[in-house]
Structure 1
Amino acid sequence: MKRPILPQEPREWPSGTLSWLVQHQKGAIALFALAAILLHLALRFWLRLPPNQYALPLLLTIAAGGIPLLWELGKKMLRREFGSDLLAGLSILVSFLLGEYLAGSIIILMLSGGEFLESFATAQASSVLRVLARRMPSIAHRKRESDLEDIPLSSVRIGDRLVVYPHETCPVDGIVIEGQGHMDEVYLTGEPYRVRKTRGARVLSGAINGESALTIRSTRLPSDSRYAKILAVMMQAEQERPRLRRLADRLATYYTPSAVAVAAATWLTTGQPLRFLAVLVIATPCPLILAIPVAILGAISLCARRSLIVRTPAALEDVTECRTAIFDKTGTLTYGEPRLTELTLAPGFSRPEVLAAAASLERYSKHPLASAVLAAAQAEGISPPEASEVSEPPGEGLLGVVEGRSIRLTSRSRLTPTQLAQADLPSSFDGLECIVLVEDRYAATFHFRDSPRSESRSFVAHLGPKHQFRRILLVSGDRESEVRYLADQVGIREIRANQTPEEKLSLVQGETAKGKTLYVGDGINDAPAMMAAT
């Protein structure tokens, strides 16, 4: 069998100083302006050169940095976009005309530095979403008879037999034809548990394979598979979302004309053009140009350390005006891990007895619920005895012998009519369910749920009083009973269950059209809705 070729991401730019300067023009201008100002001060006060010589670095700064900045400001004015940087551009122009090159260079340093920090913050905010988009593999392992070949993802056709290696991302939607194991579909479906895959089971593109290799038959082209559709919706949401006006630009709408009017009045009153420049320089909104990008960058870094993704820096400025909050369920308000919440016993069996027998078998299983059973046994101080003849036939559950008795962990669909009559199970149930049989007799039913985070209820409760949120919604792809259960646990009244990523996007777009909306979610299945929210 050939060793798989791992895809490598293309690099758009070669490494090096020149490529950095090309990619980060504003950062290069800021560095050049800083160096020129320091050189000017050295030539003027240390070497005491004549004015025509110590002014040269500043003139170069205005030529190399000021002209590009003024050109961009001019294009913004033609588009009738009047932002906070317009006053800075006017100050640069006037300082050059009046020969005050140091003032102009300092403003160039502030303006280019602030824009560089803001662009860097934007890149940091969107980098995680780009990483999620790049999770899709670029190749697939096609199986033909006994041979295995690596082919581009675009070459996959319906009906191809593909091998998905352990821990790889499934390239297309398909059906398992060989092997058994588990796949993590939490980013696609919102389900917090790894899903068991056996022959005949359906798999989704973008799901992460577990410990075992699986052979699948593709049922859709890569471009029509689940993961590709989510990415397409995300790109459409990005293109259609409204352009946010930054706080600085909204303030500049009133501040800039006022500052220019005061400067002009000062010039007319005193008859000195330097007074006009002095007012412009003093009125240039340095806190808005520099402090806001620095604050946003710090906020994004703080959020990243707490596993929070900020879609765009402008969202941090608008979040205080949001009055509707929409929360995803799995992994956002919950831990994304199953927990044993209820154990129903049949007559003649005790809780420690059944839990010990189940934990004895689960030690040898990779099933998503195994860790929940073992954790429950450990919490109750139960030491599982040794098990023998442990097996896990596809679709049959977990079998073994514990202390001379046959134990079986399975689902209700595998029970015989006699066992179903013994169990007397309700027709419907909440959460996940596991049946325990001892010597082929019904012994107990385990119920599992995804636990809400300890801080979820207090966090939801403080949104209204502290931040004036009027509506809070819980949205999930899970069953309505599961979503309602969590909503009651964390104090949310409005829910939307069984929601696909497309339906989440439609809901968020509708709420955003009514007013500014905050969306909090995790994973690729929430990316389209995150892109559409305020």
Structure 2
Amino acid sequence: MTDTPSASSGTPLWKSLETVIAIFTIIMIVVYLFLRYGWGGSETIQNLPLWSVLLLGGTPLVWGLLVKMVHREFGSDLLAGISIVVSVILGEYLAGSLVVLMLSGGEALEAYAVRSASSVLQALSKRMPSVAHRKTDSLIEDISLDQIEINDTIVIFPHEICPIDGVVLEGHGVMDESYLTGEPYMMSKTPGSQVLSGAINGEAALIVRAEKRAVDSRYARIMEVMQASEQHRPHMRRLADKLGAWYTPLAVLIGIAAWALSGDPVRFLAVMVVATPCPLLIAIPVAIIGSISLAARRAIIVRDPTSLETADTCRTIIFDKTGTLTYGEPQLTEQLYAPGFHGSEVLSLVGSLEQFSKHPLSQAILDAMQAAKAVVHEATEISEPPGQGLRGTVAGRSIEITSRKKLLKQQPELESQLPEQVGGLECAILIDDQYAGTYRFRDTPRTDGLSFINHLSPKHQFQRMMLVSGDRESEVRYLAEQVGIDDVYFSQSPEQKLEIVNDETAQANTIFVGDGINDAPALVAATVGVAFGQNSDVTTEAADVIVMDSSLQKIDEFLHISRRMRRIALQSAIGGMGLSLLGMLLAAFGYLPPVAGAISQEVIDVLAVLNALRVAIPPKALIDFNPDGQA
């Protein structure tokens, strides 16, 4: 459809340099332990595996860190590189090999956990059909999408994804456009109706005239926006890098000062051994992995570990409408009846007829009928001409269910009897050719929406809550009033959503919550993108976090998991670095020689890791709002 990067899911784990080094290091350490404790032999032979690790594995890692140093990037991993060099000088080859393993293994796991830009584009590409069915006279032939020309006649079979933007020429059916437009309903399609590329066809075949080539379609445009948002996504500094930015130069400064004041280079080496940043290289990843595990047990999939570090720093949260703050399904919200007609009787008659309909709103009426325990009557003479409404005879009475527009076209004198038209969808009911009432439908807000929104500011320090939707103004404003959001944007295209998220993220860290393909660019552009459910492989690829069961409670749980992870990680890292600083001072004054410093650093590492492991223990509660009532 459009030119995109290679449709791969990123470099395979086993092909990255860091992964090869990590695996090689593990093997060589095992060989070393066998030679030393199981085989014996000279010390030179025993050390050969460790020398190979430091030469083949340590050299490229240290070189990469030197490049970072030239660019003035002083992260915690730079100190690890110094530690590798120091361990070689001291003859502590096993310690140096373990640092190589920590550094390469951490980077390999990080590269694997963080999804690549191409994976999202791959999901977008896979979703579209590879061929279209072009009709010429009575012949139907399969062609590639790039062969479609404007005004070509395209056949879309049942349950297929529409390959182009166009207009229906023949056929009557419905299409699911919710992932593209934000409209929560199956949209009726009759001759003259517009169709969008990427929409899912219903159970009836449609014949469509192409109005655009595939590369110019709506879906292709979303892919272009997706690619642009990936390329311009800002790099987030990791927590360990932020702490290492001051810890690393401080450790080097202490070591140089100790050397300069004492004249003994061994003191510099001792300081470097004590300064090995294991609380940063191990404790923080342990806290992150533990939090990912805890989240997974709560049906929350964390795809990008950075989201756990940054979610608690976000001060703006942006919601899509359909399927996030609403249930994504139409429900019968109002039943308005003309004088002389009783509600339960009308619902019984209408529901008895609707059970034979495939109209997108029929299920909402049947749900209301079941909830009211209305009587089901036998229906006969049922007909549902495409685009003409539903007719039938129920309990000896003539029933017709149609739209306001079609009703007034047939009986314009009824205009004064109809209720005022408002937002949402509606249908008019005729019983024995008399106007009996109007049913109104809306995509209803989640019951816990108001209490959830109201608790975000006092409990999570959000300063701004926004509702950004592709749906109509009346629907978006209706929802905003129900859940208590004042900052509202409606009828927004994916490009406009992306622009809003970019503007907001430039001012403060943002969380975007959505579930449709039209949300994918915004999910990528936000500081943290949260996708509801698994409605689309595109959104799950674009999101940093996936909430499996589409619950606002899970959003709250994720925020608490993030805050708890950050708190425990900082405790482990800062506490470990504090003890390391004390050890560095002792080493600087000659009270802690290199070997003793290495042992003390191992003790500090164990304490930091044990504290970090606490993060995987589930707390008593992970939500702090009332999901059953108002805030």
Report the alpha carbon displacement of residue 300 of structure 1 after superposing the two structures with TM.
5.5
Report the alpha carbon displacement of residue 83 of structure 1 after superposing the two structures with TM.
1.8
Amino acid at match of 2:359: H
Aligned to 1:3: none
Describe the superposition over 1:490-517 as per-residue Cα deviations: whole angstroms up to 9, x where unpaired: 2212211222222212222222222222
Q: Residues 90 and 420 from structure 1, CA distance in 2 versus in 1: closer, same or farther, beyond 3 angstroms? A: farther
For 2:331, what is the secondary structure of its paired residue? strand
In 2, Cα distance between equivalents of 1:40 and 1:454: 61
Q: Residues 406 and 124 from structure 1, CA distance in 2 versus in 1: closer, same or farther, beyond 3 angstroms? A: farther
Q: Pairwise CA RMSD of aligned residues?
A: 2.7
TM-score for the superposition, normalised by structure 2:
0.77
Confirm whether residue 374 of structure 1 aligns to residue 356 of structure 2: no
Pairwise mapping of residues 110-125 of structure 1 onto structure 2 (< 5 A)?
A: 110-123=102-115
Confirm whether residue 75 of structure 1 aligns to residue 78 of structure 2: no
Moved more, 182-191 or 210-219: 210-219
In 2, Cα distance between equivalents of 1:305 and 1:126: 28
Q: Residues 423 and 55 from structure 1, CA distance in 2 versus in 1: closer, same or farther, beyond 3 angstroms? A: farther
Report the alpha carbon displacement of residue 166 of structure 1 after superposing the two structures with TM.
2.0
Confirm whether residue 63 of structure 1 aligns to residue 55 of structure 2: yes
Pairwise mapping of residues 309-328 of structure 1 onto structure 2 (< 5 A)?
A: 312-328=304-320
Confirm whether residue 428 of structure 1 aligns to residue 421 of structure 2: yes
Instruction: Check whether the contact 2:113–2:303 (CA below 8 A) recurs between aligned residues.
Output: no
| Larger RCO (alpha carbons 8 Å, 6+ apart) | 2
Aligned to 1:38: 30
For 1:236, what is the secondary structure of its paired residue? helix
Match of 2:45 among 42, 50, 53: 53
Matched residues, percent identical? 56
Instruction: Check whether the contact 2:7–2:122 (CA below 8 A) recurs between aligned residues.
Output: no
Report the alpha carbon displacement of residue 50 of structure 1 after superposing the two structures with TM.
1.6
Describe the superposition over 1:417-466 as per-residue Cα deviations: whole angstroms up to 9, x where unpaired: 64652662244312211111112211110111112223322221221112
Confirm whether residue 532 of structure 1 aligns to residue 525 of structure 2: yes
Moved more, 105-114 or 504-513: 504-513
Q: Residues 76 and 137 from structure 1, CA distance in 2 versus in 1: closer, same or farther, beyond 3 angstroms? A: farther
Moved more, 177-186 or 274-283: 274-283
Aligned to 1:166: 158
Moved more, 362-371 or 274-283: 274-283
In 1, Cα distance between equivalents of 2:247 and 2:487: 42
Amino acid at match of 2:25: A
Instruction: Check whether the contact 1:140–1:150 (CA below 8 A) recurs between aligned residues.
Output: yes
In 1, Cα distance between equivalents of 2:518 and 2:49: 53
Confirm whether residue 152 of structure 1 aligns to residue 144 of structure 2: yes
Instruction: Check whether the contact 1:118–1:293 (CA below 8 A) recurs between aligned residues.
Output: no
Confirm whether residue 443 of structure 1 aligns to residue 420 of structure 2: no
Describe the superposition over 1:46-95 as per-residue Cα deviations: whole angstroms up to 9, x where unpaired: 22222111111111212222122123223323333222211111111222
Pairwise mapping of residues 110-509 of structure 1 onto structure 2 (< 5 A)?
A: 110-123=102-115, 127=119, 130-267=122-259, 275-296=267-288, 299=291, 312-416=304-408, 418=411, 421=414, 424-509=417-502
**Structure 1 stretches lacking a partner, 5+ long:** 1-9
Q: Residues 307 and 222 from structure 1, CA distance in 2 versus in 1: closer, same or farther, beyond 3 angstroms? A: farther
Report the alpha carbon displacement of residue 275 of structure 1 after superposing the two structures with TM.
4.9
Q: Residues 286 and 138 from structure 1, CA distance in 2 versus in 1: closer, same or farther, beyond 3 angstroms? A: farther
Report the alpha carbon displacement of residue 472 of structure 1 after superposing the two structures with TM.
0.8
Describe the superposition over 1:232-270 as per-residue Cα deviations: whole angstroms up to 9, x where unpaired: 112112222322222221211111011122333445567
In 2, Cα distance between equivalents of 1:385 and 1:304: 48
For 1:230, what is the secondary structure of its paired residue? helix
For 1:449, what is the secondary structure of its paired residue? strand
TM-score for the superposition, normalised by structure 1:
0.90
In 1, Cα distance between equivalents of 2:286 and 2:148: 47
Aligned to 2:504: 511
Amino acid at match of 1:475: V
Q: Residues 19 and 118 from structure 1, CA distance in 2 versus in 1: closer, same or farther, beyond 3 angstroms? A: closer
Matched residue count = 521
Moved more, 206-215 or 273-282: 273-282
Report the alpha carbon displacement of residue 336 of structure 1 after superposing the two structures with TM.
0.3
In 2, Cα distance between equivalents of 1:301 and 1:167: 37
Instruction: Check whether the contact 1:121–1:300 (CA below 8 A) recurs between aligned residues.
Output: no
Instruction: Check whether the contact 1:192–1:337 (CA below 8 A) recurs between aligned residues.
Output: yes
Describe the superposition over 1:451-488 as per-residue Cα deviations: whole angstroms up to 9, x where unpaired: 22233222212211122111111111222222222122
Describe the superposition over 1:331-357 as per-residue Cα deviations: whole angstroms up to 9, x where unpaired: 111110111111001112111221122
For 1:330, what is the secondary structure of its paired residue? helix
Instruction: Check whether the contact 2:7–2:118 (CA below 8 A) recurs between aligned residues.
Output: no
